[in-house]
Chains A and B, each alone.
Chain A
Amino acid sequence: MKPLTLRRVLWSCALLAGVLLGIVLLALRLGAVPFSFADLGQNLWWLVSGQREKISTDFRLIMVDIRLPRILLGIVVGAALSVAGAGFQALLRNPLADPYVLGVSSGAALGAILALLAAPTIPLMTPAAAFLGAAATIAGVYFLGRRQGQLDSGTLLLAGIVMASFLSAMIMFLMTTLASRELRGISFWLMGDLSTSIPRGLLWILVVGFLAAAGAILTTASDLNVLLAGEREAMHLGVDVTRVKLVVYISASVLTGLAVSVSGAIGYVGLLVPHVMRMFFGSDYRVLIPTSALGGAIAIVLADTLARTLIAPTELPVGAMTAMAGAPVFIYLLRRRVA
């Protein structure tokens, strides 16, 4: 296998960034309200060149206030989920690991439900409570997953799965016994949904959080490569295994918590995208993490565009879309690799 060079990392990322740009333009163009590409280009130029007063009211309302923020949110959420997925797959040395394997999404959902029951009318209460729920789960699983003061992959996985099923049971209990009218939206939330509008300030917090956590995982990339050979081997090669595992665990959990708190549990992306990227660009974590981020963004923006347009004006939850499209794509890629 060819050694990984900086040039190859940059070219891979540039290629994916190009694809992402194309998909974003397509996503901007398509929707319940049609715009032509000419219109789109003209107005986008005005927007970028600062001639905001020329932009039509319709364009500002639909594009700038609705579609663009939603696409940006999709990019951040997709990137966060995929990087988290890649991180957990390395940390747990399990190809089936995804961002939700340790129960973060269930914790976030429980937080969201409690917020909807306690204060349904306060905006932003739901994402805040969802993030708190995710953080509490992360902490809980961390303490359950330690063995002799060290994070143990096997124990962590079991602790996460037990926690996830316990929290899911709590959610089902609350949903059937309380059945409050405010919980109607929760089924959308559990499936993953990007239609909730996010204030711009929150979007920036997400971007900052994503960059910090994904960057932290990236710093451990070469250590993760060694870790794939096994913990003992990595330790003998001079990797500070305890520190690497802690950094990856916290960063990947924070990424998942951020994504889940604004969009619910969008499935499949965090599991699939890292595998797809491995097939295309190799399994070196130094290239896998940036390409997973871009690939995740592409996957979610594409899925959300389909969710918005397939049966417009009614919208599908994006999670239903990713699951529907994700499974066949995965099987195809798997068969192709085997053949």
Chain B
Amino acid sequence: MTWSNHLSLRGAIFIKDTGGRIHLALTRAFLVRWLFVLAIAPLLVGGAARAQSMPRENLTSSASRIEVKDETGRTVLVPQPVRRIVSLAPSVTETLFALGAGDRVVGDTDFCDYPPEAKQRKHIGGPVSPSIEAIAALHPDLVVATREINRPESVHALEQLGIAVYATDPQAVEQVFVSTERLGDLLGAGGAGRKLTADLRRRLSEIDLRLAGLPAKNVLMIVWLDPLMSVGRNTFLDDALRRAGAHSVIDSPQSWPAIDLEQVVRLQPDYLIISNDDARQVQRELTELQERPGWRQLEAVRKRRFIVVSEAMSHPSPRLVDGIEQLASALYPGAFAADAAFLGALARNCRETVTASFSQLFFSLLQPDGCL
């Protein structure tokens, strides 16, 4: 090879072969040098870009901001007044509507179906994988999340965009009320919030009064059927069961423990409880359940002691009290039957939450040993 058919340039050697094609050979020194430059350059460019980046303007029209601590301990700067809210969970949507802030909800999740108006709001995806850009496009003053079902990643992504995210985390019935009040304060609806929770507390103490002295009944709350999941300690649902005079046979430190059927057979709950508004699905599930081999070992299944309550029971929102009332009156018909006024009120609540065909099913289930 002669000098004329190759060219060396600071460690890069271009070689011309007999066919006239040019090949490139690189020495290690050349590669190391350029790798170093390649590695350093983005850092310099990045630094320069950062230096000239502008301060982020306020995205909201609201002038002032207040600093609050949310229920997960994060400090949030919330614009005041809050005019546009995006909810990231059905229970949050229900709470916002119950506080009378429904007209300020500009976006909610695909699963927000109560009250019916919630379905007409702009949907931003599911609670677990919402579209961050769809939320940002709604220009919310405040996004309300709940630790129970939203992912910290979503909250973090919204924070990065300068959007205020307030997260709730109720783990007991009383905490649902406190959470509702605090949210009311934040939205300038503190009065409505306290009026709402005072009424809810009154309804709960009414139930307490009726159940006073009655022993709690052992139940298995079926949160999910396949795999079988129930409630553990420190959940709002476990507390709600207790308030309705039910004692969950499952005692687990996990929030939503997966359970072995064998364990259920050993514990022999008096009643099986399902929270679902879809009457047909419930019917299908219960029929199927009675045919499964292991389940027939359960006294509650043989005697058809199933109680179906509305989905209100499984949402940590003010509607939870409706669910508690339904369950309490189903477990202790005697304590409630005497009082026509209470049943009337209950039926009214039920009509609001439960479809017609479902309420029929619901009342047929009030007789524990009645046929399904």
Please tell me if the beta carbons of B134 and A312 are within 8 angstroms of each other in the complex: yes
Closest-by-CB residue of A relative to B126 is A314
Neighbouring A residues of B62 by C-beta, 8 Å:
none
A147 at the interface (CB under 8 A from B): no
For A215, list chain B residues within 8 Å (CB): 31, 34-35, 38
Main secondary structure of the interface of B (DSSP, over half): mixed
Q: Is A3's CB under 8 angstroms from B21's CB?
A: yes
Q: Which residues from 222 to 265 on chain B have a C-beta closer than 8 Å to any C-beta of chain A?
A: 254-258
| B72 touching A7, Cβ below 8 Å | no
Inside 8 A of B126's CB, which chain A residues have their CB? 314
Binds B, one of A151-159, A193-201, A272-280: A193-201
Q: Are A179 and B256 in contact (CB under 8 A)?
A: yes
Known: A32-B134, A185-B152, A208-B39. A197 touches B160 (CB 8 A): yes
B341 close to chain A: CB less than 8 A:
no
In chain B between 153 and 174, which residues have their CB closer than 8 angstroms to a CB of chain A? Answer: 153-154, 156-157, 160-161
Across the interface, B160 reaches (CB within 8 A) one of A31, A67, A199, A314, namely A199
Whether A182 and B152, one on each chain, are in contact in the complex, defined by CB atoms closer than 8 angstroms, is yes
- B125 pairs with A121, CB closer than 8 A: no
Among listed B22-30, B77-85, B267-275, B304-312, interface-contacting one: B22-30
A62 CB to closest chain B CB (Å) equals 5
Interface on B for A, CB 8 Å cutoff?
A: 14, 17, 21-24, 26, 28, 31, 34-35, 38-39, 42-43, 46, 49-50, 54, 57, 59, 72-74, 110, 123-126, 128-134, 136-137, 147-149, 151-154, 156-157, 160-161, 254-258
Determine if B22 and A313 form an interchain contact, defined as CB atoms under 8 angstroms apart: no
Given contacts A195-B154, A197-B153, 17 further A-B contacts (CB under 8 A): A7-B21, A32-B133, A33-B137, A61-B59, A61-B137, A62-B137, A65-B160, A185-B151, A188-B129, A188-B153, A197-B156, A204-B42, A211-B38, A215-B35, A216-B35, A312-B125, A315-B131
List residues of chain B with CB within 8 A of the CB of A208: 39, 42-43
When each residue 120-153 of chain A gets 1 if its CB lies under 8 Å from chain B and 0 otherwise, what string results?
1101000000000000000000000000000000
Question: Which of A6, A120, A176, A313 contacts B134, CB < 8 Å?
Answer: A313
Whether the Cβ atoms of A204 and B151 lie closer than 8 Å is no
Q: Would A181 and B123 be within 8 Å (CB), given that A188-B129, A199-B160 are in contact?
A: no
Q: How far is the CB of A241 from chain B (nearest CB, A)?
A: 16
Listed in ascending order, the chain A residues whose CB lies under 8 Å from chain B are 3-7, 31-33, 52, 57-58, 61-62, 65-67, 116, 120-121, 123, 176, 178-179, 181-182, 184-185, 188, 195-197, 199-201, 204, 207-208, 211-212, 215-216, 218-219, 308, 312-317
Find out whether the CB atom of B133 lies under 8 angstroms from the CB atom of A6. no
Assess the A204–B38 pair: CB atoms within 8 A: no
Docked-complex contact B54 and A52, CB < 8 angstroms: yes
Q: Are A219 and B134 in contact (CB under 8 A)?
A: no
Interface centre among A179, A185, A313 (most CB of B within 10 A): A313
- Evaluate contact between A195 and B129: CB separation under 8 angstroms: yes
| Contact status A196-B21, CB under 8 Å | no
Cβ–Cβ contact B153 & A185, under 8 A: yes
Cβ-defined contact, B73 with A121, below 8 A: yes
Q: Tell me, in angstroms, the Cα distance from A6 to B73 when the chains sit together.
A: 58
A216-B34 Cα distance, complex, nearest whole Å: 11
Q: Which of B28, B74, B157 contacts A195 (CB 8 A)?
A: B157
Q: Output the least CB separation between B12 and chain A (Å).
A: 10
Total A-B residue contacts, Cβ distance less than 8 Å: 138
Contacts of B154 in A (CB 8 A): 195
Q: Could you say which residues of chain A place their CB within 8 Å of the CB of B74?
A: 121
A195-B132 CB under 8 A given contacts A5-B22, A57-B57, A61-B161: yes
Residue from B14, B21, B132 within 8 A of A66 (CB atoms): B132
Give the residues in chain A near B254, CB-CB below 8 Å.
178-179
List the A residue with the shortest CB-CB distance to B40: A208
Complex A-B: 9 CB contacts under 8 Å: A32-B133, A58-B137, A61-B137, A65-B136, A182-B152, A185-B128, A204-B46, A215-B31, A215-B34
Q: Are B28 and A314 in contact (CB under 8 A)?
A: no
For the complex of A and B, 5 pairs with smallest distance between CB atoms: A313-B131, A197-B157, A32-B134, A314-B125, A313-B125
Q: How far is the CA of A62 from the CA of B163 in the complex (A)?
A: 13
Contacts of A199 in B (CB 8 A): 160
* C-alpha spacing A276/B130, complex, angstroms: 33
With a CB–CB cut-off of 8 A, which chain B residues contact A123? 156
Q: B75: shortest Cβ distance to chain A, in Å?
A: 11
Residues in B whose Cβ lies below 8 Å from that of A58: 137
Residue of B nearest to A5 (CB): B21
Chain A residues, CB < 8 A from B151? 184-185, 188
Most chain A CB within a 10 A radius of its CB, from B14, B49, B125, B255: B125
Which one of B126, B133, B258 has the greatest number of beta carbons of chain A within 10 Å? Answer: B133
- By CB atoms of chain A within 10 A, which of B74, B124, B152 has the most? B152
Distance between A257 CB and nearest chain B CB, rounded to angstroms: 17
CB distance from A252 to the nearest CB of B (A): 16
Query: Chain B: which residue is nearest A314 at the CB level?
Result: B125
Beta-carbon nearest neighbor of A211 in chain B: B38
Which of B43, B160, B255 lies in contact with A179, CB distance below 8 A?
B255
Contacts of A7 in B (CB 8 A): 21-22
Chain A contacts of B21 at CB under 8 A? 3, 5, 7
A67 touches B257 (CB 8 A): no
| B72: chain A residues within 8 A (beta carbon) | 121
Q: Across the interface, which residues of A come within 8 angstroms of B17, CB to CB?
A: 3
Docked Cα-Cα span, A139 to B124, in Å, equals 43
Instruction: Determine whether the beta carbon of B128 is less than 8 Å from that of A65.
Output: no
Q: How far is the CA of A215 from the CA of B39 in the complex (A)?
A: 10
From B59, B128, B131, B153, A32 is in contact (CB under 8 Å) with B131
Instruction: Output the residue of B17, B39, B131 with the most chain A CB within 10 A.
Output: B131
Contact residues in A for B160 (Cβ distance below 8 Å): 65, 197, 199
Contact A317 B129 (CB under 8 A): yes
Q: Does the CB pair A207–B124 fall under 8 Å?
A: no
Complex CA–CA separation, A56 to B77 (angstroms): 24
Interface centre among B43, B49, B257 (most CB of A within 10 A): B43
